[in-house]
Structure 1
């Protein structure tokens, strides 16, 4: 039986990494590696490095960690660099002699650009930058991909509001995070849901609120909000014959001036719920309660269902026409679609709604698996690759260029990120950096110390909040 804790950084790696320290050329001193999203449909919104540094790199490695790792790794059938890790503890107090530089979190850059670069600061530990690849790449690709998908969706919604609504003031509440139950772990929720909050202020993932407080100092007490909402159990508990009473109870419990609440309305017959309950027996209550009822369909083909729901609500409650020429339901009734939402379906729903003459302001969206779980490292082809090595005092470029896959060709040399003549971020060799040019990569971590700590508010501003 081999026991250790999940916070043992030596074990937070791939098995094959444990033998790499003897695989580099004799005289190796420094290894420089970089991280990029090689391709994809979205611009990169960089996020998550600060959380990783605070959670995993701010605590020193101990001799106990080394003892535990040695037992497990050798039993696992691998060689173990005990002398190297002991030297790290004795010489550096267990803190990693590394320099990590990165673009500021919340920055938006095109794919195929360096966003993070790592190098060892002590030549004895040339093997260390690659050793933490597993943990560092994972810490960046997942939250950055979620932030990138979320930002892309925000662009779709912004464009729709600009075309069909009088203003875009509600934009940051138009895509709500429903993904907590569908994520692979609580840490995934913490990172992914928090990444969504770079762009939006609506979530049902309370773990994200804890994560914001833990990793990103908050200038405001609360970074995101939600509203009371029904689920099928609270509606079907009243029985089919009690659906009207269930809906009436929601108005009684949560209605009121300035208040909003959501009611899932497809437990049995969504069209009956709209035509005969919300728009029938409870119509006056809905109109006079003083707040906003948000009706939630949760089944069927999303674009078709949302359009028909709006059309039926328009018949029952009427509409006005805004300055852009689109129909708007009364303030006291709206629709939220939280089933089957992805960047693609979101765009389709908005197109169908607007072609039917309705403003996009009538609809809010909830996104679950499509936001937090239906992404992987290949969504944006994230990779960390070594690009330069110093051997016996001389630097040389290293790279991969497989003939069988040109898309996996890696960059060469120590890198920098600069703005080109058009103001677009572009990757160059650090050796080519002009004296008056600004390198967008900045030191974030050096030898155990977090050098830059950004608040969520600052990160949001960079992302175009």
Structure 2
């Protein structure tokens, strides 16, 4: 029985790819493919390619990888291109003879534009660009989709703060990542939570901090922060009759000037917790502790619960009216809603809160499954398609144009991305580039070498941090 290796790049593909090397026309030399998000509700925030290159393309393929792959693939019932892979090891030292060019990470582009393009640099390996489609497309679509959803949410919150708050200084802490436990794997957390940090600086996914250091040069600067927070187990451990004591313990442990902490307050009766504990027996302690208590509801209809929580807190603690004419709770008490948050739900909550006269400044959000898990390749219709092939020295455009689905029509030719003088981005054929037009696609990986290695800080700035 064979021993499988998850890091064997030859096996990091779809089964049907193993037979494609004999399916291309005789004389095939170069194959150019591109990646795009074909459609969707969000602009693309491109992210994740650098992580993939460092993790998977920086280590050469070995003869041991070939032996293992042959054993698996032939037992799987498929043909195996042993000669091709051995030639790759012998001629190129196991490094992939590919050129990958892409837009800079953190770039924001409309859907239906090229964001990445790949071509082989050695005509013997015309079959290679398509072979790594599975791994490369997955490496881009997932973190880019999370970054795009996160950026969309950031714009919703920004607009709400601009309309209802005195300033937007707290924007990067307004959407906290709660998604670690709900993600499909640790690598999903590493990529997805890190993608969220392109836009925000709040996370409870410590794996993202490791990922930032591993892939994006954040070994010295801390890219994100969190605060002490209660969960139901720590609160219910005090028993129903001891809920007040449990809350008081949180103030004692974590209160203080300049400090913030969060307490889930709906283990039994949220309204009793607000009216009679936080706003009753512990009211003076909350007012005088010097920090900020963040009350967390965790059940019910989010919009209704948040609005009523704010209204009840306003009765107990009072409000002031800011320069925009919206009510703001005292600095020492706020609300965080982390249950059932989606981009659409987030917008609804903010609308309800502001219609009730409260500033968006009163509320922070936590997003879990809606951020990291409730996305898939179809969320933005990501695809990698071959668009040009060189056969016997002659380039020709190739494309798909299914009569049954015009939305799946693919682009033709070797591509470039340019910015018009009006600021609009457009995908064109590379041979249409002029001296005045600057191709936004740039070489990132060539023949085993990562050519651009950027920090998360630079990527954040590009994304409008």
1:318-357 per-residue CA deviation (whole Å, 9 max, x = no partner) reads 0000000000000000000000000000000000000000
Question: What is the Cα deviation at residue 436 of structure 1?
Answer: 2.2
Alpha-carbon separation, structure 2, partners of 1:228 and 1:385: 47
The answer on whether the counterparts of 2:182 and 2:369 sit within 8 Å (CA) in structure 1 is: yes
* Residues 399-456 of structure 1: per-residue CA shift (max 9 Å, x gap): 0000000000000000000012321111000010112210000000000000001100
CA contact (8 A) 2:30 2:390 kept: yes
How far apart are the structure 1 equivalents of 2:297 and 2:171?
21
Displacement after TM superposition at 1:219 (Å): 7.7
Do the aligned partners of 1:219 and 1:455 also contact (CA within 8 Å) in 2? no
Describe how 1:66-145 pairs up with structure 2 within 5 A. 66-145=66-145
- Gaps of at least 5 residues in structure 1 are none
Provide the rounded CA distance (Å) in 1 between the counterparts of 2:2 and 2:124: 30
SS at match of 1:418: strand
TM-score normalised according to structure 1 size: 1.00
Distance 1:81 1:27 in 2: 17
1:58 offset after TM fit, Å? 0.1
Q: Deviations over 1:351-374 (max 9, x none)?
A: 000000000000000000000000
Q: What whole-Å deviation, never above 9, does each CA across 1:32-64 have from its counterpart, x for those lacking one?
A: 000000000000000000000000000000000
CA contact 1:263–1:295 (8 Å) conserved in 2: yes
Aligned equivalents of 1:81, 1:182: Cα separation in 2: 39
SS at match of 1:40: coil
Deviates more, 1:430-439 or 1:164-173: 430-439
CA contact (8 A) 2:212 2:219 kept: no
Q: Which runs of 4+ in 1 moved over 4 A?
A: none
Measure, in 1, the Cα distance between the counterparts of 2:329 and 2:397.
61
Maintained 8 Å contact 1:100/1:116: yes
1:292 & 1:104 partners in 2: Cα distance?
A: 39
Q: CA deviation at 1:3?
A: 1.2
Task: Please say if residues 32 and 387 of structure 2, whose CA atoms lie closer than 8 Å, have aligned partners that are also in contact.
Answer: yes
Question: After the TM superposition, which of the residue ranges 429-438 and 188-197 deviates more from structure 2?
Answer: 429-438
Corresponding pairs, count: 465
Which aligned pairs between 1:203-282 and structure 2 lie closer than 5 A?
A: 203-218=203-218, 221-282=221-282
Greater shift after overlay, 220-229 or 116-125? 220-229
Q: Deviations over 1:99-150 (max 9, x none)?
A: 0000000000000000000000000000000000000000000000000000
Q: How does 1:50-449 map to 2 (within 5 A)?
A: 50-218=50-218, 221-449=221-449
Distance 2:322 2:112 in 1: 42
Q: How much has 1:4 moved relative to structure 2?
A: 1.9
Instruction: Please state how far the C-alpha of 1:220 moved relative to its aligned partner.
Output: 5.1
Cα deviation per residue 1:234-257 (whole Å; 9 max; x = unaligned)? 000000000000000000000000
* Aligned equivalents of 1:241, 1:456: Cα separation in 2: 47
> 3-state DSSP class of the match of 2:47?
coil
For residues 283-320 of structure 1, what are the alpha-carbon distances to aligned partners after superposition, in whole Å with 9 as ceiling and x for unaligned?
00000000000000000000000000000000000000
TM-score, normalised to structure 2, is 1.00
CA RMSD between the two structures: 0.6
The Cα offsets for residues 54-85 of structure 1, whole Å up to 9 and x where unpaired, read as: 00000000000000000000000000000000
Contact between 1:219 and 1:457, CA under 8 Å: does it hold in 2?
Answer: no
Alpha-carbon distance, 1:2 to partner: 2.3
Deviates more, 1:216-225 or 1:126-135: 216-225
Aligned equivalents of 1:158, 1:219: Cα separation in 2 = 29
Relative to 1, partners in 2 of residues 1:461 and 1:30: Cα closer, same or farther, differing over 3 Å?
same
8 Å CA contact 2:44, 2:145 repeated in 1: yes
Contact 1:320 1:328 in 2 (8 A): yes
Q: Is the 8 A contact 2:114 2:427 kept in 1?
A: yes
Indicate if the aligned counterparts of 2:58 and 2:448 stay in contact, CA closer than 8 A: yes
Alpha-carbon contact 2:213-2:219 (below 8 Å) kept? no
Q: What is the distance in 1 between the residues matched to 2:435 and 2:409?
A: 29
